[in-house]
Amino acid sequence: MIEILLRKHLQDVSARSVLDVGPGYADFSRVSAQITGAKSITFLDNDAKVLSWQTKECARIGIEARSLQRVIGVEPLGLEDSYDLIHCQEVLEHLSDPGLLLSELQNKLSMHGRIIISVPTRISERWLKFLSPSYMKDEPYGHVQEFDEPRLRAMINVSGLRVLSLIPTQPHFFLSHSWMAVTRMEIEGSSGKVLTEDWRSTVLQQITVWSRKLFLLTGMNWWGYLLPRNYFVIARRD
C-alpha cells in the first residue's frame, strides 16, 4: 500500500537524486526514483548486507547506487550533497533522538524537495506488546520510540519541515504482524527481516497477501484508519 501512496503523492514531483536512510530490504526508494525520474539513489544503512543487496537491485533496473555505511543516530551521516527526495521509513522508532536526525535531513533536502517518513503507530506497537510481552525487548537496534499523530506532527514541525500529508495505513501488516507476535516468530530488529522459516512463515505470507487484496478491494483508506500499522508522511521544507 505504500507503493500506491507513493504513486499518488509523487506523480507531479520531479527529482534528480534520492537519499534512502535505513532502507532495509524495501524497494520504496527504487519505486519513487522511477516515478520521479531520478537516476541515482544514495543508500545509508548500518548493515553491509543491506547496502550490497540494494546496490544489486538498483543495477537490475539501471539506477546508479551509492552506499554509505553508518550507524544511524550514533555517528554523523557525512552527507555532502543535497537531495530532491529523501526516504526515512521505519527508522525514527529505532533512535533515542529521532528529532535530531530529522533536523539533519531537513538541511540536506533541496528547496522544493520532498521527504517521505513512515513509522509504526503507537496503537499497533502497544497491541503487539500486549500479544507478546517480549516484543522488541533486548533487541539490537529495536524499537525504542512510539508515535501517535500529535507527537509525530510536532516533531516534524520542530525539525523545520511542513507536513503535506499524514495517512494511517498498512492494515494488512497490522494483521500479519499480530500473527508474528502471537506465534512468537523471530525477526531482525534493525531491518524487519523475518528469520523464522517454517509453517508460521507460510501462514504469514498468506495473511499478508490475502488481507492486502481484501483491503484494497474494500477501501484501503478506511481500513488504514481502523487497523493502522504505520503512519505515512510526505513533508517539505517549511
> Which of 152, 33, 162 lies closest to 91, judged by CA?
152
- Structural domain total, the chain: 1
**Rounded Cα gap, residues 178 and 49, in angstroms:** 27
* Integer Rg of the chain from CA: 17
Where in the sequence is the domain holding 170, given as residue range(s)? 2-237
Q: How confident is the model at residue 127 (pLDDT cuts 50, 70, 90)?
A: very high
Higher-scoring residue by pLDDT: 195, 235: 235
Residue with cell 533541496: 110
Cross-strand partners of 83: 109
C-alpha cell at 229: 500499522
Region for residue 180 given its phi and psi (left: phi exceeds 0; alpha: psi -120 to 50; beta: otherwise) = alpha
**Rounded Cα gap, residues 87 and 41, in angstroms:** 10
For residue 206, the SS3 value is helix
**Rounded Cα gap, residues 210 and 182, in angstroms:** 19
pLDDT in tens, 143-162: 999 999 999 999 999 999 99
pLDDT in tens, 74-126: 877 888 789 999 999 999 999 999 999 999 999 999 988 999 999 999 999 99
**Rounded Cα gap, residues 165 and 231, in angstroms:** 10
Taking the alpha carbons of 28, 109, 70, 92 in that order, is the dihedral positive or negative?
negative
Higher-scoring residue by pLDDT: 141, 128: 128
Is-contact 230 120, C-beta < 8 A?
yes
pLDDT in tens, 28-73: 999 999 999 999 999 999 889 999 999 999 999 999 999 999 888 8
Helix, strand, coil percentages, rounded to 5, for the chain: 45, 25, 35
> Which of 231, 121, 134 lies closest to 180, judged by CA?
134
Mean pLDDT score across all residues of the chain:
93
> pLDDT at residue 190 above 70?
no
**Rounded Cα gap, residues 147 and 151, in angstroms:** 6
CA–CA–CA angle 227, 98, 140 (5° rounding) = 80
Mean local confidence (pLDDT), 14-41: 94
Whichever domain contains 214, its CATH number is 3.40.50.150
C-alpha cell at 180: 508474528
pTM over 0.85: yes
